[in-house]
Structures are given as C-alpha cells and as structure tokens.
Structure 1
Amino acid sequence: MKRRDFLSTAALGSAAGVLATPALAQARPNVSWRLTSSYPKSLETLYGISDHVARRVAEITDGGFQIQPFAAGELVPPLQALDAVSEGTVECAHTLGSYNIGKDPTWAFDTSLPFGMNTRQNTAWLLYGGGLELVNEFIARANVRSIPSGNTGAQMGGWYRKQINSVADLNGLKLRIAGLGGEILSRLGVVPQQIGGGDIYAALERGTIDAAEFSGPYDDEKLGFQRVAPYYYYPGWWEGTANVGLYINLDAWGALPAPYQAALEAACTEAMTHCVAKYDNGNPDALMRLVSSGAQLQAFPDDVLTAAFAESRKLYAEYAEANENFRKIYEHWSVYWTRQQQWLRVAELPYDYFTSAQIGR
C-alpha cells in the first residue's frame, strides 16, 4: 500500500471512529429515575426489592440507567405511591394494586383476590395466562403500567388481642387490613382499617385497632406485633399470594430506550424470584421464634372461613354486575382459577399434604 493511500485510509478510519462515539452514546443515554416504596427499610425483603432492581438495572446497563429508591414516607406517604407515579412526581413505585380499590376494585387483580390463587398459580396467570395484559390494559387509564416485582407468598391471618372462636367474635372488631379482604370482612361485622406498615404497631399499642394483619412471620416478627396482640391466626385467606408490582409512569416508560426497558423487566423478574425465596427461607424459623416468645398460634374456625368464602363470591358477582372493568378481568380470572384448582388437587396438594403430615412420624 502506498503511503498516500495508507494515510487516506487511516484518516477515514479516524473519522469513522469520531462518528461512532456519538452513535454509541445515543444508544446508551444516561437515565435517572426515582422509585418510591410503600415499605419501610426495616422490612428489608419488601423494601429490598427496590434496592435489588436499582442495583441490577445499573449493572446490566453499565451505569447508564440509574434508579434511586426511597422508603415509605421519604418522598410520599406509603399509600400514595401509585398516585405519585400516575402524576409523574416519581417515575416508578413498589406498591400493591389492592391499596387502590377505593378508586376501583379492579385494582385488586394486580395483587390478588381473597380465596384466589397461590403464588405459583397467580404468577402463571400474570405471565402466561394473559392476566398481566388485562391488568395493564385497565391501569393504563391511570397513566401507569405494572411489572411483577415481588411476592410474599401465602400470608398469615394476623394478630388479635382476643380469640376468634366463631363468626360472632368478628362483630365490631377493628382490624387493620388492606384490599378486598376488608370489604368481605365488613360484611361479617369487622370494621376494616387501612394503615401503612410502619404505623400498625403504634395503632395496636394505643388500642386504636383490635387486630392487624400484615404479612407472614418473617416480617411480622420485625414489626413486633406479638408484644401487643398475642393470638396469631392462620391462614391469611385474603392474600394466598400478594404480588408487588413495579408501577411505572407511562410517559417515562415510553421515553425509555428498548434495551433499558428489557433490563428493567429482567431485574424485576429476578427480584420477584429472590423475594419469594427469601420469605420461604425465613418464615419457618421466624414462626418458631414467635411461638417461643409467647405468640399463640390459632387456626381460624371453619365457620369463619366458610362464611368469608361465601361472601367473597357474592362480592365478586356484585362487582362484576356493576363494574365493566371488574367483570372483564374476573370472567377470565375465574376460569383460570377453576382450572388451576383442578390441577392442584391432582398432584401438588396431595403431595404437599402427605409429606407435611410425616413430620414426627
């Protein structure tokens, strides 16, 4: 190659390099978001999904996409997280759709329905059964979309100052409970109270409420409910699963480059897997510690469960008749629920029941 040709080629290569650098920069812009959580930092699993998503997104995008998480109350109150996202005050939030049933009961589908599916079934419905598409179609009117990002698994039935021996004992009971479970229990005489996680203990201690449900042993132990309400009931039929969504402002989502959208979806899926695993790992030992420290483990009487189940189906039928949004998703959800229960009765449930019955034999 002649020297003149070599210099010309080199010059073209240098120019191409200069042109390529801005192109790469445009493909990976710097994006900064704020994420508000409905949970305090003391609940390191539920709040921890926010840290997990932020860290993994930054790693996947080589620092191009930064998300700064904030605990409940640092930016907005815990029960106003979704409103903050909808209005664009923050780009995203970790919260429960069921906190917003006062606006429309259809929001509950993104968390769970009482006497609904378990965690595996609900995840299958959201990711493969068409549930998430229906949910996001509904919540788009609030200028948000949801990505499943965490889950508590089946929860406990809460902490009570007095024993519940029959449906009659529910009459006048002031119970902290979120979601449609409170609507169902109100039909059985309960006075539901919606209180953020960080404020429950004080309400119990002052006697503002008579009982409180929150999550399961791993979280409940940290909140110290056993010191002020000794009776610990199960099962938490109002949340056989509790999907925590990452709610994202639609305008912010639309402005996000496709690779960053993919990174966020991947990080959320990973966070959900870790969240479930952490609860499954921590709940057994936490329950034993709670019982050892004086918590009195109690099962809800059959008449309470039977009455609550009957009221749940009546409530859903009423919502479906009066609310087109609810009816559209409920009809789809109900068919899926029935199919999942039929399969559960064949393999999963008999296996779990038999093996758990072998303890101590």
Structure 2
Amino acid sequence: MSNQGKGKAKEGALGRRRFLTTGAALASGGAASAVFGAPTVARAQENITWRIQTHYSSGSPAGVTFQRFIDNVATMSGGRLTMEPYTSSALVKITEAASATRSGILDADMSWAGYGIGLDPAFQFFADINGAYTIPEQPQYWLDHEGGRELADELFHSYGLHLVGFWGTIPESLVSTVPLPNLKALKGFRLRSPLGLQGEVLSAFGAEPIVMDFGEVFTALDTGIVDGADAAELRVNDSLGLHEVAKHVTYPGFHAMPWVHLAVNKDKWDALGPDLQKIVEIALKKAAHERGVEDRVLNDLVATQLKEKGVSVHTWPEEEMSEFRKIARPVWEAYAEANDMSKRAYASHATFMEKIGIIS
C-alpha cells in the first residue's frame, strides 16, 4: 500500500474512533440528562388550571368572546394553561369578583372593571369615563402607550391583582320604553344603572338612576320599574330580548363604553413563566380585536333589523354628543377627587383626551 493510502486508512481509523468516542459521550450525556434533567422537564410540562369568571351569559356575544379567549390560551399554550369558566357570575356575585380574585377564590376575573370600586374608587378610571371615549381603541392605547400601564400596575398590584389588559365595545345603547330623541328626554328618566360614575353622570341630566344587577334588567323593563336601562351595546341588548319589551333605543350610543378587564390574582400571574404570560396577553389582544370588528359590523346589522321590526332607533346629532361631554366633564372631575390614585388616573386620561381632541 502506498504511503498516501496508508495515510487515508489511518485517518479513517481515527475518524471511526472519534465517532465511537463522541457517540459514547453523547449516550452518557443523554443518560445524565435523562436523570438530572427530569425534574426540569416535569416542571416545564406541568399543567395549570385557572378558575375564571365573567358576569356575561355563555350564549351572549360577550360570553362568546370570553370562551374564545379561553380556547385560544389552551391552544397556544399546548394545554399547559387551561381555564375553568364560570359565566353569569356562577361562582361569586358580580360585585365580589375583584375581591374573590384577590383572595384566591377565583384565579382570574373577566368582567367590567368598575365592579372593583368597592375596593377602591380609582378602579372606575380603568373601567369607563362615561361619555368620554368614542371607540374602544382609545382607552386601550392610553393603557399601552400613554401612561396607563404604570398607573394600573400601581393600583392593581396594591390589591393583589394584575391587570393584563381589557377589551371594550363600541358605546352602549340606552334601551327604553319611552322615546329618547335628545338630552332633554333624560330629565325624569328612570333607568337601571350600575354603581359608580355612570349614575352620577346621568343624574347631571335629570335622569333617575336605580342601581340593580345586570340580570334584573328584563323584568324591571317589563314590569315598568324602570323606563330604560343602561345594559350593554345594541346587539347584546337584543340577544337578551330587551327589545321585546322596550321599543326605543339610542344608536350609536354615547353614555357609556365599558372596558371588560382581565384581572388575575397577582401570585398566580407571577407564577407563570414569561412564555405563558405572553400567550395570555396575546390571546386577550386577539379577543379585543375580534370583538371590535364584530361590534362595528353586527351592531349596524342589528340596528337595521330592529327598524324593520318597528323599534325606534334614535340617532343623536354630534351637537348633542358634544353637549353631553361638556356637562359630564365636571362630574368626572368631581369623582376623581375620591383619592390620590383617582386624581392621577383621571389627569392622565384628560391629558390624553386633550391630545386626541375629545376635550379641549
């Protein structure tokens, strides 16, 4: 054999020895990983289940958004994070959801953030500023880019909660048994209203708010306890059958545009890895986007259908809307005097609203 051939044979033998040595090392390392890495793998694959509640019914448009969010989290996490859903406030009363999440009875709450005012009036400014914003993207932008996040973390964390974010609807429609063609029609108007700023704003126009639970609205309208209701946006009101007993509605709405938050027990949120936290955040933003698209299209569709059924749809001119904000603003400012966080949150909103031309 030539020297060149002997050299190639030697290289081949060395190569085989290197392969065998490397293979043994890999096998040994693999075995070691299987032993020492087992707890890490088990932790990574550990499944987490949250109890989450909303006050909406399962078949309502908001209830569909709620379930869609839950399904998306389960899918995107590969089943590592699943949620046990409770609709229609099945586990705790709607006004107790924030406290129940704080204490661990619930792990997460997806309802109107304003029900948290029982803990702190400042929660109102993470729930709605009645008559202010006109599209849900505005408060979402404030939260993400205009100082809202820092304030939210300070407030929610102080109560053992974490605000992941919120989704909103287009402005709600007032459903009523009497005509509501303009602001003057609000004087003496008896309506269902939730706790908080909303009733105070409507009172400034001479309305007579009556605080009652969301589930009592149909009966109150049907029996004449109230003339109308601040319930939800047009298509949700219709899905609840409210237009069967109340043949007047304002659309587009103006008086309220509630933000449905996702508030999580702070310890449970911190226990998630960064990947699961990001999945929850993305799933919420996806739900918010889809809800906004559906609201714009489907509420117009429902408005057309209601007109065909003989329901009077009252559309207020922009002058009435501007007058509403003008009269409502002193009420917002007075409510913000409740405590330091309320003042700071409202001031942040006001700065942003001036920037985008809602107020001057």
Matched, 1:323 2:333: no
Structure 2 letter corresponding to 1:93: D
- Alignment equivalent of 2:269, drawn from 233, 253, 272: 253
Bigger mean CA deviation after superposition, 84-93 or 51-60: 51-60
Q: Which has the larger radius of gyration?
A: 2
* Aligned 8 A contact 1:35 1:50 in 2: no
Counterparts of 2:179 and 2:62 in 1: how far apart (Å)?
Answer: 29
* Aligned 8 A contact 2:140 2:167 in 1: no
Counterparts of 1:103 and 1:64 in 2: how far apart (Å)?
Answer: 32
Distance change in 2, residues 1:36/1:297 (3 Å): same
Write the deviation string for residues 158-177 of structure 1: whole angstroms up to 9, x where unpaired: 11222246656434432112
Distance change in 2, residues 1:322/1:39 (3 Å): closer
1:128-139 to 2 correspondences below 5 Å: 128-139=145-156
* Aligned 8 A contact 2:51 2:83 in 1: yes
Give identity over the alignment, percent.
24
* Aligned 8 A contact 2:51 2:108 in 1: yes
Counterparts of 1:336 and 1:14 in 2: how far apart (Å)?
Answer: 59
Distance change in 2, residues 1:65/1:108 (3 Å): same
Structure-1-length-normalised TM-score: 0.85
Distance change in 2, residues 1:340/1:28 (3 Å): farther
Question: What RMSD, in angstroms, separates the aligned Cα atoms of the two structures?
Answer: 2.7
* Aligned 8 A contact 1:49 1:150 in 2: no
1:1-361 to 2 correspondences below 5 Å: 1=17, 10-43=27-60, 45-101=61-117, 103-117=119-133, 118-156=135-173, 158-164=174-180, 169-178=185-194, 179-239=196-256, 241-300=257-316, 305=321, 308-341=324-357
Structure 1 letter corresponding to 2:280: L
* Aligned 8 A contact 1:226 1:294 in 2: no
Counterparts of 2:24 and 2:107 in 1: how far apart (Å)?
Answer: 50
Unaligned regions of 5+ residues in structure 1, if any? 346-361
Task: Quote how far apart the aligned CAs of 1:301 are.
Answer: 7.9
Write the deviation string for residues 284-304 of structure 1: whole angstroms up to 9, x where unpaired: 111111111111012358897
Counterparts of 2:28 and 2:181 in 1: how far apart (Å)?
Answer: 87
* Aligned 8 A contact 2:121 2:338 in 1: no
* Aligned 8 A contact 1:149 1:271 in 2: no
Write the deviation string for residues 239-293 of structure 1: whole angstroms up to 9, x where unpaired: 2x43211111112112222221111111111111111112123111111111111
Partner of 2:9: none
Q: How many residues align?
A: 341
Task: Quote how far apart the aligned CAs of 1:113 are.
Answer: 0.7
Distance change in 2, residues 1:280/1:168 (3 Å): closer
Structure 1 letter corresponding to 2:345: I
Partner of 2:7: none
Structure-2-length-normalised TM-score: 0.85
Unaligned regions of 5+ residues in structure 2, if any? 1-16
SS class of match (1:33): strand
SS class of match (1:11): helix
SS class of match (2:110): strand
